[in-house]
Amino acid sequence: MSEMQSHSAILADKPESWNRPAVMEPEGEGELMEVAMGPHHPSTHGVFRMDVALDGERVMRLRPVFGYLHRNHEKIAEGQSYLASMPYTDRLDYICPITNNWAYALAVEKLAGQEVPERAEYLRVILGELTRFQNHASSIGFLTQEMGAMGTPLMYAFREREKILDLFEELTGARMMVNYMRFGGCRVDASPGWLERTRKVVAGLAGFVDEFDRLLSTNEILMARTQGVGVLKAELAVNAGVTGPMLRASGVNYDIRKVDGYGIYNRFNFRVPLGDHGDVYDRYMIRMLEMRESIGILQQALREIPAGPVMSPTAKLRGFRPKRGEAYGRIEAPKGELGFYLISNGGPNPYRYRVRPPSLINLTVLEDMCLGVNVADVVLIFGSVDIVLGEVDR
């Protein structure tokens, strides 16, 4: 009981302006039941623990505990060259290796003032949007898995994901850990055969999203379990630094592809879906709509991709020593704003290498969303945040 009292003292220190709900007090007599959800738990999306204090079935306090997958990524990066950290970035958000690579390459290119040829930018967009598509499909699949759909939507999502992973393997050599971006472009060029096969796959994606939509969006069970659950107010989301689909589901129009226009994104015609309520159903719907927008971007990019080199002629593979300075490169990763902050002291290794993990920052509002709900809803809310522990723990 004493541990609970000190815990509430910590929670009570938060300023009122954060719009947090008051820390809940249990009704009636008795103690709170403390349950550790995880790290061995099929629905924690990886090794993640939530210490919840329950009054019956309702959550009174929730404390996230992570670090079970900490692999010293940032410290290892200080001891090796910039190129050697590229395969490690694949393993951060391991569902979306391409976007991790891209954010890191962007940061290093900013640091070194490196240009990227146009064909490489188009290839980056094509692979990035394919990654976003398969990430959102898998995320919806995992969410419905946790609702008890026993894997059917997940397996349909994985069927499309397999096609996309086959494209990745054909181009880069590996299905997931692609190690494809380099500082100044992409590692290998895409053959015309690959572009044809990609066009075929993209042509089938719209039919898949329609099927997925018909399967899930009007399902009464899904609507009953997700509408009104885990509401995140826009003001709290912005104050807590939440980004990505979670922020847009709360109604805030902030997509880094539109705001920064990194790469060549300002050439593409796409909309940014926004949610009205900020509940789990909105986050699910946002991902569904973003999948459709990704298809639009893919079709446009595959039409317009020019010929040319994929590596800048001034790019160096070995002996790469950027000048002293710092750079922050960020992209709209499928999970949110993924940023790399690099400080160089002129040597071959970075002096400081910092990853801004969207999954971790989005998790900081987990308790606010989960107070007062049932344990089953905690699982859903946690699933709608869409985290990957590789990114949370690095």
Partner 1 sequence: MLGEGILKGMAETAKNFFGSYFSAERLTTVEYPEQRIAPYEAARVFPFLVFDGSDWEAGMRCVACQICEKECPPKCIFIEKSKDKKPDALGKQQFYPARFDIDISVCMSCQICVEVCPFEAIKMDTEYELSTDNRFGGLLLDRRQLAKSNQYYHQIHPAEADGVDARLAAEKAKADAKTKITAEAKTAAIAGEGA
Structure tokens at 97: 């290796």
Closest CB to partner 1 among 118 and 213? Answer: 213
Compute the distance between CA of residue 157 and CA of residue 230 in angstroms, rounded to an integer.
Answer: 24
CB-based contacts of 155, cutoff 8 Å, min separation 6: 141
Chain residues 280-339 in contact with partner 1, contact rule CB under 8 A: 317-318
The distance of Cα 343 from the centroid of its chain, to the nearest Å, equals 24
Which is nearer to partner 1, 169 or 276 (by Cβ)?
169
Contact mark string toward partner 1, 6..45, x via CB under 8 A: ----------------------------------------
How many residues of this chain interact with partner 1, rule: CB under 8 A? 36
| Least CB distance to partner 1 at residue 150 (A) | 11
Binding positions for partner 1, 85-114, rule CB under 8 A: 85-88
User: Hey, which residues between 65 and 84 contact partner 1 (CB under 8 A)?
Assistant: 80-81, 83-84
Stretch that binds partner 1, among 17-25, 117-125, 134-142, 211-219 (CB under 8 A): 211-219
| Structure-token pair, residue 280 | 């789990």
What's at 134, amino acid-wise?
Answer: Q
Can residue 203 be called a binding residue for partner 1 (CB under 8 A)? no
Neighbours of 281 (CB within 10 A): 23
Which one, 4 or 76, has the nearer CB to partner 1? 76
Q: How far apart are CA 247 and CA 287, in angstroms?
A: 12
Question: Do 365 and 166 form a contact (C-beta atoms < 8 A)?
Answer: no
CA dihedral sign of residues 294, 245, 93, 162: negative
Quote the least distance from Cβ 2 to partner 1, whole Å: 45
Question: Any idea what DSSP says for residue 305?
Answer: P
**Sole binder of partner 1 in the list 40, 199, 200, 214 (CB under 8 A):** 214
Contact 343, 350 (CB under 8 A): yes
Crossing angle between the packed helical segments 152-172 and 192-216, to the nearest 10 degrees: 170
Residues 134 and 277: beta-carbon distance below 8 Å: no
Distance CA 336, CA 243 (A): 5
By beta-carbon proximity to partner 1, the closer residue of 45 and 187 is 187
Please say which residue, 330 or 394, places its beta carbon nearer to partner 1: 394
- Rule CB under 8 A: is residue 183 a binding residue for partner 1? no
Task: Using the minimum distance from each CB to partner 1, give the nearer residue, 40 or 159.
Answer: 159
- Any idea of the CA torsion for 368, 372, 378, 382, to the nearest 10 degrees? -10
Contact present, 315 and 337 (Cβ < 8 Å): no
Nearer to partner 1, 226 or 243 (CB): 226
170 scored as a contact of partner 1 (CB under 8 A): yes
Q: Any contact of residue 206 with partner 1 (CB under 8 A)?
A: no
Binding of residue 188 to partner 1 (CB under 8 A): yes
Using CB under 8 A as the binding rule, whether residue 208 contacts partner 1 is answered as: no
Beta bridge partners of residue 325, listed in sequence order? 344
Position among 31, 115, 166, 276 found at the interface with partner 1 (CB under 8 A): 166
Give the range of 108-116, 221-229, 241-249, 339-347 binding partner 1 by CB under 8 A: 221-229
The answer to the question of residue 384 lying near partner 1 (CB under 8 A) is no
Beta-bridge mates of residue 50: 37, 64
Query: Which residues contact partner 1 by CB under 8 A?
Result: 80-81, 83-88, 152, 156, 159, 162, 166, 169-174, 177, 179, 187-188, 211, 214-223, 317-318
